[in-house]
Protein backbone atom coordinates (compact mmCIF):
# COMPACT_ATOMS: atom_id res chain seq x y z
CA UNK A 1 0.00 0.00 0.00
CA UNK A 2 2.88 2.39 0.65
CA UNK A 3 3.89 2.49 -3.02
CA UNK A 4 0.28 2.96 -4.05
CA UNK A 5 -0.10 5.85 -1.58
CA UNK A 6 3.06 7.40 -2.96
CA UNK A 7 1.69 7.10 -6.51
CA UNK A 8 -1.57 8.78 -5.47
CA UNK A 9 0.28 11.53 -3.57
CA UNK A 10 2.39 12.15 -6.68
CA UNK A 11 -0.78 12.43 -8.78
CA UNK A 12 -2.38 14.87 -6.30
CA UNK A 13 0.80 16.96 -6.36
CA UNK A 14 0.86 16.88 -10.17
CA UNK A 15 -2.79 17.92 -10.47
CA UNK A 16 -2.42 20.70 -7.91
CA UNK A 17 0.98 21.74 -9.24
CA UNK A 18 2.49 21.54 -5.75
CA UNK A 19 5.45 19.74 -4.26
CA UNK A 20 4.66 16.24 -2.98
CA UNK A 21 5.78 17.26 0.51
CA UNK A 22 2.76 19.59 0.67
CA UNK A 23 0.36 16.65 0.26
CA UNK A 24 -0.48 15.64 3.82
CA UNK A 25 -3.45 13.66 5.15
CA UNK A 26 -5.23 16.56 6.84
CA UNK A 27 -4.86 19.02 3.96
CA UNK A 28 -8.03 19.83 2.08
CA UNK A 29 -7.68 19.10 -1.61
CA UNK A 30 -8.85 22.65 -2.37
CA UNK A 31 -5.83 24.01 -0.49
CA UNK A 32 -3.67 21.94 -2.81
CA UNK A 33 -5.29 23.51 -5.86
CA UNK A 34 -7.56 20.54 -6.65
CA UNK A 35 -10.89 21.74 -8.05
CA UNK A 36 -13.91 19.54 -8.79
CA UNK A 37 -12.76 18.67 -12.32
CA UNK A 38 -9.33 17.71 -11.07
CA UNK A 39 -10.96 15.60 -8.36
CA UNK A 40 -12.77 13.67 -11.09
CA UNK A 41 -9.46 13.23 -12.90
CA UNK A 42 -7.98 11.91 -9.63
CA UNK A 43 -10.86 9.44 -9.23
CA UNK A 44 -10.40 8.18 -12.81
CA UNK A 45 -6.67 7.78 -12.12
CA UNK A 46 -7.43 5.77 -8.96
CA UNK A 47 -9.93 3.59 -10.82
CA UNK A 48 -7.31 2.76 -13.44
CA UNK A 49 -4.65 2.18 -10.79
CA UNK A 50 -6.84 -0.21 -8.79
CA UNK A 51 -8.77 -1.68 -11.73
CA UNK A 52 -11.96 -1.04 -9.73
CA UNK A 53 -14.81 1.41 -10.17
CA UNK A 54 -15.09 4.21 -7.65
CA UNK A 55 -18.64 4.47 -6.25
CA UNK A 56 -20.13 7.74 -7.50
CA UNK A 57 -22.04 8.26 -4.27
CA UNK A 58 -18.71 8.38 -2.38
CA UNK A 59 -17.16 11.14 -4.51
CA UNK A 60 -18.87 13.87 -2.48
CA UNK A 61 -17.22 12.64 0.70
CA UNK A 62 -13.72 13.38 -0.53
CA UNK A 63 -12.49 16.65 0.89
CA UNK A 64 -8.99 15.84 2.20
CA UNK A 65 -6.10 13.58 1.28
CA UNK A 66 -7.06 11.34 4.22
CA UNK A 67 -10.52 10.96 2.63
CA UNK A 68 -8.88 9.83 -0.61
CA UNK A 69 -6.86 7.17 1.21
CA UNK A 70 -9.88 6.03 3.25
CA UNK A 71 -11.81 5.47 0.02
CA UNK A 72 -8.88 3.63 -1.56
CA UNK A 73 -8.73 1.38 1.52
CA UNK A 74 -12.49 0.79 1.21
CA UNK A 75 -12.13 -0.15 -2.45
CA UNK A 76 -9.36 -2.57 -1.58
CA UNK A 77 -11.30 -3.99 1.37
CA UNK A 78 -8.54 -2.98 3.76
CA UNK A 79 -8.89 -1.32 7.13
CA UNK A 80 -8.24 2.42 6.88
CA UNK A 81 -4.71 3.48 7.74
CA UNK A 82 -4.24 7.06 8.92
Q: What is the pTM of this model?
A: 0.84
Q: Is 43 among the domain residues?
A: yes
Q: For 30-73, what is each residue's pLDDT tens digit?
A: 999 999 899 999 999 999 999 999 888 888 889 999 999 999 99
> Residue 76's pLDDT is what?
87
- 67 within a domain of the structure (yes/no): yes
State which residues form the domain around 8. Answer: 2-76
How much is the pLDDT for 30?
Answer: 95
How big is the CA angle at 70 (ends 39 and 44), to the nearest 5 degrees?
A: 30
- Whether 79 has a pLDDT exceeding 80, the answer reads no
**CATH number of the domain to which 26 belongs:** 1.10.1200.10
**Helices 36-50 and 65-76, axial angle in degrees (round to 10):** 30
19 part of a folded domain: yes
Residue 47: inside a domain, yes or no? yes
Number of domains observed in the structure of the chain: 1
Amino acid sequence: MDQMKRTIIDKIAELGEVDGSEVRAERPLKELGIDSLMAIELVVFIEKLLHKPFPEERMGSIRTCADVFREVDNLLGSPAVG
